[in-house]
Structure 1
């Protein structure tokens, strides 16, 4: 069977977090750059499909292609390390410190941003023939997205900020579920399917992903979107990063860690059911059941 049991893939999550804490600066930056660039290209592809076909659902169905590829290639997204790296610290792995976690987050952020910004420039360039003509239909749509998802939130004040934050939490709840999905299977097809489903959901629902936004909003600014860098940082990127931390770490990383890596001892029953003790793989051996004492 290619399915990996929760207690096993949770241990793999902690191991992965430990490795990322100790990864060299060079490797962390390169992996971050490539992940940001590939995800940006995937976002550009999804927007292009949506504009040309008129189907947002089709764009969302195809968007996970980039996400799946970058994780199969071993590259790192900020949203993923938000979930995995702190587990090494919580599990008291050797050499895992608060400083090490923050160092990893900072380097991956820089790498992701550089990769996404590079693709933002390239897409802006090709949709305007070197900034010599007005952006094409796809370029216009990219500019509209940046404006709607900054000034659109600002118009509602505190309620807009809360809406943004909750969309960010829901986003990385789903994206990090996709990250873990890659560890649920030992087959490439199984990994791809488990990653595809939650990532498609986040994109179609319009949740806010910090790395995707590192592409969308700079592209919008380059293509004449009616918002500022300050609007982007205050009314999107900074709250998005915070919300993504909460969504990934709390609802995915910690929930799996607490229930599968640091579980409570199983409760004992007064009577053992005919099929054996709950949680015990008896394999038809009555001796296994006999090991559970009566209350």
Structure 2
């Protein structure tokens, strides 16, 4: 599939998501949040048990690929796709429709991620009857380091958090868009796997992964609170994810492949009428 073709496909996908029913939007976003949370727990478990963070990052994308192939929706994806259909003035895609979609997907993702966090916490503590094992302790540590850890640096910490969120959705949305280029399952998986692996190993901030990690960390006894999570992670991460996906992926592809500028005419090229007379 050529770049202009998948650019058109991106705009079509954004329109479909913006006009989707409330029920379907919530179901699909709920399942996306739940599956991605499970993938995050899987990656943390691998890292703790093997001591190899790279191996955890290599295997984390299995969850992302599953939810994409099943047609579920992440906030990071709709941040990139839905605005393009609004910019293209697709029928029914108003600013209000776009905000409605983002709000519903956020709620669904959060509910799904929280569900997985509770289930993982139960499995790691035998129903909260024993202290967390090594994996549970690591979840608590992650929550501390990526909330109060940023807060220790003040404005510099907030800037670092925001930039990591921007770079995260630069990679994740590249995976979403890349998957549109292939018609085979194996091709889609390969296109998604590489950039998602990069974001996870580099420690970039993904708003939906964090919807699992931080509530789970709180349940595992992490030394931070829910306000720390919102102010020093989730809210800046959501904004950064929006900027990264829309600016570096959706906006760039839209500008150059969907709204392609006219080609330049060589200075010494003959005008069409002149070429016709010469040929005659």
TM, length-normalised to structure 1: 0.91
Distance 1:40 1:79 in 2: 14
The offset of 1:269, in angstroms, is 2.2
Measured against aligned partners, the alpha-carbon deviations of 1:113-133 in whole angstroms (never above 9, x if no partner) come to 000000000000110000010
For 2:247, the equivalent position in structure 1 comes to 250
Q: Which string of whole-angstrom CA distances, capped at 9 and with x for unpartnered residues, describes residues 144-196 of structure 1?
A: 00000000000000000000000000000000001101101111111100000
After TM superposition, the runs of 4+ consecutive aligned structure 1 residues lying more than 3 A away are none
Give the equivalent residue in structure 1 for 2:31.
Answer: 34
1:226 corresponds to 2:223: yes
Separation in structure 2 between the aligned mates of residue 136 and residue 271 of structure 1, nearest angstrom: 74
Aligned residue among 96, 105, 118 for 2:115? 118
Distance (Å, rounded) in 2 between the aligned partners of 1:8 and 1:49 = 39
Match of 1:215 among 212, 217, 223: 212
**1:132 aligned counterpart, secondary structure:** coil
Q: Distance between the aligned counterparts of 1:5 and 1:63, measured in 2? A: 29
Aligned partner of residue 100 in structure 1, secondary structure: helix
Aligned-pair distance for 1:270?
A: 4.6
Give the gaps of 5 or more residues in structure 1. 273-289
Which residues in structure 2 correspond to 1:61-100 (within 5 Å)?
61-100=58-97
SS of corresponding position for 2:125: coil
TM-superposed CA distance for 1:267, in Å, is: 1.1
RMSD: 1.2
Task: Give the structure 1 partner of residue 149 of structure 2.
Answer: 152
Measured against aligned partners, the alpha-carbon deviations of 1:34-83 in whole angstroms (never above 9, x if no partner) come to: 00000000000000000000000000000000001100100000000000
Provide TM-score, normalisation by structure 2.
0.95
Q: Which has the higher helix share?
A: 2
In 2: Cα distance, 1:254 partner to 1:183 partner: 16
Q: Which residue of 2 aligns with 1:58?
A: 55
- How many residue pairs match? The answer is 272
